[in-house]
Copies of this chain bind each other. A is one copy, B any other.
């Protein structure tokens, strides 16, 4: 599908600062940047970098003087989601996993899979097929965690969310990742733009490594899965931050927009348990 996305972010720099900004969609075989433009007011020196660990494209922006800055990014992107039948999406044995997939089995800051083995096994361990396990995880999170802002904080982790049972997309994603890893299914954090997310904001969900594919899962069920435009993947929120500030930048305003340019979007089924959707091929 073809989308137009735009992000405007305003800051007030109180001192000379540097900003790392990760708002540009990732380039890959299935996601093409048709055109893009990144401007700033005033004009600022920017550098574009690619992260080898995880997948992230980001800019380092030098802000040499205090004052207001406006950043604007606009792009037309075209992406495809590959549909894969569920029966292909089974466990990959450890000895057949790539080094990259194996790295997403490790516990991490917000995904303490090492403390969830018993919980994950008790709830999902008896389900035979790996894809069905992950579907059950998605359903459990959707049914048991209330989507609500104002409660969780940047310190909230998967271990907390099991009991607090409330959170935002970041928390839903962390819990999904932690439970998958606890069942020896590599899982990673996914951030991106989301068509039809209302109000418009950056969205987070996760990918699980099944049958050799990274299958996208969104336990919030807030948006069509094929309306996602990937910015980055990583171990969890620690390595996929949209903005990292060095110095003192006060956030003033942000506007995000995701528009469909294609004629129509064939909705992929949120609740499907017969096929998985892959953003990486």
Contact = CB atoms under 8 A, between A and B. Distances in A.
Nearest to A57: B99
A37 interface: no
A191 B131 CA distance: 36
Interface string A87-103: 00000011101111011
A162 interface: yes
This chain: copies in complex:
4
B164 A162 contact: no
A239 to B, nearest CB: 5
B119 A165 contact: yes
A238 interface: yes
Contacts of A58: 99
Given A109-B109, A164-B118, A184-B246, A239 B18 contact: no
Nearest to A62: B95
Given A52-B53, A102-B20, A119 B45 contact: no
A103 B53 contact: yes
A60 interface: yes
Contacts of A97: 60
B52 A115 contact: no
A44 to B, nearest CB: 10
Contact of A115 (B61, B108, B163): B163
A95 B47 contact: yes
A200 B247 CA distance: 34
B103 A163 contact: no
Given A119-B164, A239-B103, A53 B50 contact: no
Contact of A53 (B18, B54, B94): B54
A14 interface: no
A4 to B, nearest CB: 27
Interface in A56-76: 56, 58, 60-62
